[in-house]
Amino acid sequence: MLTIQPLRWGKPYNSLDTFDVIHFDTGEPIAKIGQVTGGMVQLDMRRADQARKALRKFSCEDLIQKCQKAAQLFEHEPLSVGDGIQTVSDFIYQQSASTGLPEHMCQSNMKKNCFVLSNMAKILDCLTRGLPLDVYTRGYGEENRGVTVSYQCQAPVLGAVLPNNSPGVHTLWLPAVPLQVGLVLKPGSQEPWTPYRMISAFIAAGIPAEAFCLYPGGHDVGSTIMSKCERSMIFGSAQTVQQYSGNPRVQAHGPGFSKILIGDDVVDRWEDYLDMMVESVASNSGRGCINCSGIWASRHTKKIAEAIAAKIGPMEALPPQDPNAQLAAFTNKQMATGTWSMIQQDLAESGVTDMTASYGPRLVEQERCAYLRPMVLHADSPSRGVASKEYMFPFVSVVECPQKDMIKSIGQTLIGTALTADPSWIDDLTNAVNIDRLNIGAVATNRLNWLQPHEGNLTEFLFRNRAYQFAS
Amino acid sequence: MTATSPAWLANPTDVSEAKKKLDQHTYETVQWHFHESTGSPFWLGKKAELGFDPLKEIKTFDDLKKFPMFEDEWLRGGPVERWIPKGLAGKPTYVFETGGTTGIPKSRVVIDDFRIDYELFSHTLPDQYFPKGANWLMLGPSGPRRLRLAVEHLCQYRGGICFCIDLDPRWVIKLIKKGWMEHLEEYKKHCIDQAITILTANHNIKCMFATPKLLESLAMGLAEKGTTLRECGITGIFSGGTEFTPQWTRFCVEELLEGLPEQSGVYMTPTYGNTLMGLACSRPITDEDNYTIAYYAPEPRAVVEIVDFEDSNKIVPYGQTGRVKLYTMTKEFFVPGFLERDEGEREMPYSKYPWDGVSGVRPYRGFASSTTVGVY
């Protein structure tokens, strides 16, 4: 069995406290993970400046090249992880076994991370709006129009408290490295695999190990990272997002409440968009904040719900190795049963209909885990509680709502796909501050263009644009 | 002793002698607590419910298993005088409390026990690191706690003066239960600020008591000011009050105290204790022993057993896990078996303390999820 130890500025630390990562279905241990404490993190953070110093020995362009090499290593080569060598198939097996995600989805997430790493030059070009990258290294420089600009780095390291169950989110912290900002990561207890393999790939590609800390541990580790890193990101619940709201040091990522809004001008042709809607709801087992949890239209909503239910309602819980598996297991059974209870409450409200009821039982309990099969609920009004719900499996509410009331009724929406060609409504949608990413036209909510900032621009988070003058 | 036995293992003769001493002490203690002329109203009252005569039937330590398990609920409420043995009536008496965040705390009356326990403990401290005459800092709970007076007495017994802070653990527990984490952080900072003020005020403080969490916070607070416990002149630390793990101990020794005593000049001794029992000392911590913390009760005044989770009269084999069972047998207080809220592994007798010990002490799994532990 693999033993994986914390990494403190690139050096493995043989912790006496270990945590077993277990197979969600068999209960067999997959790896032992050494744990740190908040105190250790706090002490280490006194040396955080060294991480940026080590990275600044390389130009941003050098680091971008190394990222490309790391992408190749991450996706294709055996890498040193803990006290063993991890092949690509080991990685996919391990990630699937601890998170409950089907193996082919683990592979897709791996590709997504590699895409971002491989295209780092383009991504940074977009995030920085084409500024020469040495502006970020030196802290000042000249724009191509001959004006002095300054971007001052606000933190030598980016801290991140990573989630347990969504291997796709790791793309968000990757661009810190070529911007010469070190990484202090707390891997999720069930998903240490991506951060460990990625850091191993970075180091194997020639990026200095002293730029990285990997801190598996308890809640105190997360809170210490958040309090001691000048800039950090956290993945959590709506409450977590609320807790850090307005805190300039923290980028909090929570539920997306992503939606598809169908305009009156196209709603009679809703069938043309059915596959896009199904993909938005069910891709990656509906786990992500970018999955669609609400489809809003002024009419045909029952028919839309029925059609989506017919596509995803029959999905079965299949073994993770099955290439047709579309559903991830809830590795914590109580989470599935708790979610099921909440949905029962949603359904108790009048005007809410379960459109997947005829496709068999939804809650599938197994010995050590459980599955929730896809659900499509119809709500006859935006005032129904379910209209603002998001759950960790393919779940969508199809909500009947007049177009004129949609923007004010949808609430906070990470990704809004608007199916319309109505210029006036497009203008209203463009100005709606409750929609973060806006897609106009048939773009599935899960299809992100990585050349656009996602939930805040990382360069703006890590660097401060300020005045910088030379005596004339 | 076999070839694979650890060097610290007690020899069988010492173990046997200690057992004889324990049996004799048990007999004398029971005679005292159950004799009409010397016993406490509480135990004399209980005697009628026992169904046996302790004066006649308790001759050895193992005979204590005839008693029902001690219930700490008996300690709640008054009159506390019922616990004072007649043989000690009229002596100046303290009352120490545990719990009490909500409701009535558990009380234990004490006359001299805390002084005796800590004087015995004093003799286990190495003078090199706990110099006689040095002043102390007490970085632990204040209020109606045994620990506060006991540490002060320990310091005075060793010829020093003890500096204390204000720390109300009941308020800390309330803050946690209310989820007022910012207030909790501020309160912790308030406590640490008091300690740093004392340490940096030329009081010649060389020794201190601290709970593990407060010790860590103090070291961090000093680090933020660019100094360390060693640089502040601390050479000896007696720590206890909350759970120690080997990993935390290693972190403390290697990183907060800057190495084992022979390198850093700072010695830290973990202890395990409570108001009911007194204070159990630990075997010296070593890196070869993977920073195992093994505690040994101050026999014969107190005894620790590791018993089966299902049968509290059955001791588990060495190295096996069980629940911590305590006995207290002093002239002031008699506890013929009490199941602690902790579990751990049974340890073999140590040369300096030739009786069973316990390692890996942590909250008992049956209570762990419902208990607020390690609050200060």
CATH of the domain at A154: 3.40.605.10
Same domain flag for A232 and A303: no
Rounded Cα gap, residues A376 and A128, in angstroms: 40
If asked whether residues A96 and A234 sit together in one domain, one would say yes
- A145-163 mean pLDDT: 95
Q: Does B247 sit within 8 Å of A35, measured CB to CB?
A: yes
Same domain, A192 and A101: yes
Q: Which domain holds residue B36?
A: 12-370
Percent residues over pLDDT 90 in chain A: 89
Residue B5 included in any domain: no
pLDDT tens digits for range A226-248: 999 999 999 988 888 888 888 99
Tell me what the mean pLDDT of segment A350-374 comes to.
96
Partners of B216 on chain A (C-beta within 8 Å) are: 39
Interval A64-75 mean pLDDT: 97
- Please report whether residue A446 resides in a domain: no
Per-residue pLDDT in tens (0 to 9) along chain B, 376 residues: 445 688 889 999 999 999 999 999 999 999 999 999 999 999 999 999 999 999 999 999 999 999 999 998 999 998 999 999 999 999 999 999 887 667 888 999 999 999 999 999 999 999 999 999 999 999 999 988 888 899 999 999 999 999 999 999 999 999 988 888 889 989 999 999 999 999 999 999 999 999 999 999 999 999 989 999 999 999 999 998 878 888 999 999 999 999 999 999 999 999 988 778 888 988 888 888 888 899 999 999 999 999 999 999 999 999 999 999 999 999 999 999 999 989 999 999 999 999 999 999 988 988 755 444 444 4
Cβ contact, residue pair A39, B256, below 8 Å: yes
Nearest residue in A to B215, CA atom: A39
Residues A268 and A356 occupy one common structural domain:
yes
- Whether B256 has its CB under 8 Å from any CB of chain A: the answer is yes
Whole-number Å distance between alpha carbons of B242 and B288: 24
- The verdict on A203 and A300 lying in the same domain is no
Six-digit token string for B114 = 């805390």
Q: Return the pLDDT at B337.
A: 95
Instruction: Kindly state the greatest CA–CA separation across chain A.
Output: 77
| A182, A298: one domain | no
B246 touches chain A (CB under 8 A): yes
Is residue A447 included in any domain, yes or no? no
Residues A38 and A174 in one domain: yes
Q: Which residues of B touch A15 (CB under 8 A)?
A: 247
Same domain, residue pair A25 and A109: yes
Asked, for residue A116, whether it belongs to a domain, the answer is yes
Q: Is residue A448 part of a domain?
A: no
What pTM did the predictor assign?
A: 0.87
Q: Is residue A279 part of a domain?
A: yes
Q: Check CB contact under 8 Å for A40 and B255.
A: yes
What is residue B3's predicted lDDT score, i.e. its pLDDT? 54
Minimal CA separation from A166 to chain B, in Å: 27
pLDDT in tens, A173-197: 999 999 999 999 999 999 999 999 9
DSSP state at residue A239: H
Contact of B343 with B365, CB cutoff 8 Å: yes
Please indicate whether, in this complex, the C-beta atoms of B245 and A17 are within 8 angstroms of each other.
Answer: yes
Residue A52 lies in a domain: yes
Tell me the chain B residues in contact with residue A243 when contact means C-beta distances shorter than 8 Å. Answer: none
Q: How many domains does chain A have?
A: 2
Residue B2 included in any domain: no
Nearest residue of A to residue B250, measured between CA atoms: A16
Measure A42 CA to nearest chain B CA, in Å: 8
Q: 3-state DSSP helix/strand/coil percent for chain B, to nearest 5?
A: 35, 20, 40
Give percent above pLDDT 70 in chain A. 100
**Is residue B347 one of the residues assigned to a domain?**
yes
Query: In this structure, what CATH number is given to the domain that contains residue B72?
Result: 3.40.50.12780
Please answer whether residues B165 and B152 qualify as being in contact, where contact means their C-beta atoms are separated by less than 8 angstroms. no
**Distance (Å) from the alpha carbon of A15 to chain B's nearest alpha carbon:** 7
pLDDT one-digit tens code per residue, A82-136:
999 999 999 999 999 999 999 999 999 999 999 999 999 999 999 998 999 999 9
In a domain, A445, yes or no: no
CB B237 within 8 A of CB B210: yes
Return the pLDDT at B276.
Answer: 80
Q: Are residues A282 and A342 in the same domain?
A: yes
For residue B319, being part of any structural domain is answered with yes
| CA of residue A345 relative to chain centroid, distance | 28
* Cβ–Cβ below 8 Å for A35 and B255: no
Classify residue A97 by burial, with Cβ atoms within 10 Å: 0-12, 13-18, 19+: buried
Residues A247, A289: one domain? Answer: no
Q: Looking at the structure, tell me whether residues A357 and A234 fall in a common domain.
A: no
Q: Which domain holds residue A55?
A: 2-254+454-466
The pLDDT assigned to B1 comes to: 45
Closest by Cβ to A39, choosing from B220, B290, B291: B220
Domain annotation covers residue A471? no
**Residue A248 sits in the same domain as residue A282:** no
Which chain B residues are within 8 Å of A35, Cβ to Cβ? 247
B220 close contact with A: CB closer than 8 A: yes
Cα–Cα distance between A418 and B15 in angstroms, integer? 81
Q: Are B341 and B371 spatial neighbours (Cβ–Cβ below 8 Å)?
A: yes
CA distance B120 to chain A (A): 32
CATH of residue A352: 3.40.309.10
List strand residue ranges (DSSP E) for chain B, in order. Answer: 94-98, 106-110, 135-139, 162-164, 205-210, 236-239, 267-274, 278-282, 294-296, 302-307, 321-329, 334-347, 357-363
Count up the domains in chain B and report the number: 1
Q: Which helix (H) or strand (E) holds B7?
A: none
